[in-house]
Amino acid sequence: MKAMVLRQITNLAENKNPLELADLPVPEPGDREILVRVAVCGVCHTELDEIEGRTPPARFPIILGHQIVGRVEQKGREVTRFQVGDRVGIAWINRACGECHFCRRGNENLCRGFQATGRDVDGGYAEYTTVPGDFAYPIPEVFADGEAAPLLCAGAIGYRSLRLTGIEDGDNLGLLGFGASAHLVLKMVRRSYPLSKVFVFSRTRAERDFAIELGAVWAGDFAAETPEKLQRAIDTTPVWGPIVEGLKNLEKGGRLVINAIRKEEADKEALLKIDYARHLWLEKEIKSVANVGRQDVAEFLELAAQIPLQPEFQEYRLEEANKALLELKERKIRGAKVLRIGG
């Protein structure tokens, strides 16, 4: 099979082609696994974190990619949920132990045995991949393959982040950064919380214009002051500065949720600018979101189908994975990016 493979950690500023095209054997599914013929795979900022070592893969070489849509090609003898030919999705959560304190309480995203697709096991930048049958999801018919892929991570983690803000209808929501996940959150809020206003922060004019086009009431640079205070906010940026700027716009008792698996070190000194009285006092909160659980993905796919929530996306060939990643690094974004791998 064809696959785009990462062989070592590298800096995208110096190496603009970190993945190389390889011809590899088709993987064999275990008794509880399914073999999926990949149709599309979304491109996520987490892949940049893997490539540049902020969340390094468990081994090399590794096939990245965790927003996978395809068809079941083969199934293990213990798999009962799916049949050959079924269309399925695979998300960031690839498996968890199922027995620990966190798993028993429904927080398998915090399991010490958590394994991520495309980081701890091979992912979807390839023609085939495997996953435990219990960690795959039926894809609602309302979505085309390319539309469904971003829902599996950008959408699901956005859904979890929005829930963790504790938003109520009428609360003002700030979105710090406006990539794949944030644009889906905006669409969710407009449907599920019609009385809430969304305020978007981005350093690029194109992203700010896109946000207004999708229904944001205001869009500005990270350092700007919003015309109204924010009760809730979600940060999706890879750096620290927007969090500091966002906190000054947060209302008393407000909550800011950080939706990022890692933060870059380049602007860590921005944290020194936090002034307790201005940024945190009066019961403001900062909360992080870690991974997603199966329930998040399943609930979100159902919600997205009901709306229906159609992502904006750009499509690339598998061999153009490096191009898509570099554009993501350079913030050349309008919605999500998706690799087309099979039919």
Rounded to whole angstroms, how far apart are CA atoms 183 and 147?
13
Residue 343 has pLDDT above 80, yes or no: no
Which range, of 41-55, 162-176, 208-222, 265-279, averages the lowest pLDDT?
Answer: 265-279
Domain with CATH 3.90.180.10 in the chain: 2-139+312-340
Q: What is the pLDDT of residue 46?
A: 94
Q: Is the peptide bond before 238 cis (omega within 30 degrees of 0)?
A: no
- 270-306 pLDDT tens trace: 888 889 999 999 999 999 999 999 999 999 999 999 9
CATH fold for domain 156-288: Rossmann fold (3.40.50)
Please give the average per-residue pLDDT across 68-87, as a whole number.
98
- Average per-residue pLDDT for the chain: 95
Q: What is the pLDDT of residue 193?
A: 97
> Which CATH code of 3.40.50.1100, 2.60.40.10, 1.10.287.1040, 3.90.180.10 fits the domain covering 2-139+312-340?
3.90.180.10
Q: What is the pLDDT of residue 318?
A: 98
Q: What is the four-CA torsion angle of 231, 234, 238, 239, rounded to 10 degrees?
A: 10
CB atoms within 10 A of CB 128: 24
3-class SS of residue 149: helix
Domain with CATH 3.40.50.720 in the chain: 156-288
What angle do helix axes 180-192 and 156-165 make, rounded to 10 degrees?
60
**Residue 274 contacts by C-beta under 8 Å, 6 or more apart in sequence?**
244, 247, 280
Rounded to whole angstroms, how far apart are CA atoms 162 and 86?
30
Please give the average per-residue pLDDT across 35-51, as a whole number.
97
3-class SS of residue 155: helix
Please give the average per-residue pLDDT across 230-257, as a whole number.
96
